[in-house]
Structure 1
Amino acid sequence: MTSMPAARLAETFVKLADTLVGDFDVDEFLRFLASRARETLSADASGVVLADLSGHLRTVADCVGKTSSAPLWELLRADGPSMECYRTGTPIAVPDVDQHNNRWNRFLQEARSAGFAALHAVPLRLRDTTIGALTLFHARRGTPDSEDARIAEAMAEAAAIALLQQRAVQREETLAKQLQAAFTSRILIEQAKGVLAERLGTTVDAAFTALREHARRSNQRLTELANAVLSGSTDLPRE
Structure 2
Amino acid sequence: MVTTSRAERVSAAFVRITDTLVADYDVLGLLHALVEVSVDLLDAAAAGLLLADPHGELQVLASTSERSQLVEILQLRAGAGPCVECYQTGKSVAVEDIHSLNGKWPEFQTAALSQGFRSVHAVPMRVRGKTIGAMGLFGEHPGALTQEDYAIGQALADVATIGILQERTLRESALVNEQLQRALNSRVLIEQAKGVIAHTAGVNMEEAFRRLRDFSRANQKTLHDTALHVINRTLSL
In the superposition, the TM-score normalised over structure 2's length comes to 0.88
Q: CA deviation at 1:140?
A: 1.3
Letter aligned with residue 71 of structure 2: L
State the distance in 2 between where 1:216 and 1:154 align: 53
1:52 alignment partner in structure 2: 53
Letter aligned with residue 231 of structure 1: N
Q: CA deviation at 1:10?
A: 3.2
1:9 alignment partner in structure 2: 13
State the distance in 2 between where 1:10 and 1:31 align: 13
State the distance in 1 between where 2:197 and 2:80 align: 62
State the distance in 2 between where 1:116 and 1:55 align: 28
1:67 alignment partner in structure 2: 67
Write out aligned runs for 1:53-132 (5 A): 53-64=54-65, 67=67, 71-77=70-76, 78-132=79-133
Q: CA deviation at 1:180?
A: 1.1
Letter aligned with residue 158 of structure 2: E
Letter aligned with residue 15 of structure 2: E
1:146 alignment partner in structure 2: 147
Between 160-169 and 55-64, the greater mean CA deviation after superposition: 55-64
Name the SS for the 1:102 alignment partner.
Answer: coil
State the distance in 1 between where 2:48 and 2:180 align: 39
State the distance in 1 between where 2:81 and 2:184 align: 48
State the distance in 2 between where 1:2 and 1:141 align: 23
State the distance in 2 between where 1:130 and 1:26 align: 16
Partners of 2:50 and 2:72 within 8 A in 1: no
State the distance in 1 between where 2:56 and 2:63 align: 23
Picking from 16, 21, 24, the partner of 2:23 is 21
Partners of 2:10 and 2:41 within 8 A in 1: no
State the distance in 2 between where 1:138 and 1:33 align: 17
State the distance in 1 between where 2:102 and 2:192 align: 68
1:180 alignment partner in structure 2: 181
In the superposition, the TM-score normalised over structure 1's length comes to 0.88
Letter aligned with residue 121 of structure 1: A
Q: CA deviation at 1:61?
A: 4.1
- CA RMSD, 1 decimal: 2.2
State the distance in 1 between where 2:87 and 2:8 align: 27
Unpaired runs of 5+ residues, structure 2, are none
Instruction: State the identity as a percent.
Output: 35
Letter aligned with residue 234 of structure 2: S
State the distance in 1 between where 2:136 and 2:186 align: 48
State the distance in 1 between where 2:6 and 2:91 align: 22
Letter aligned with residue 35 of structure 1: E
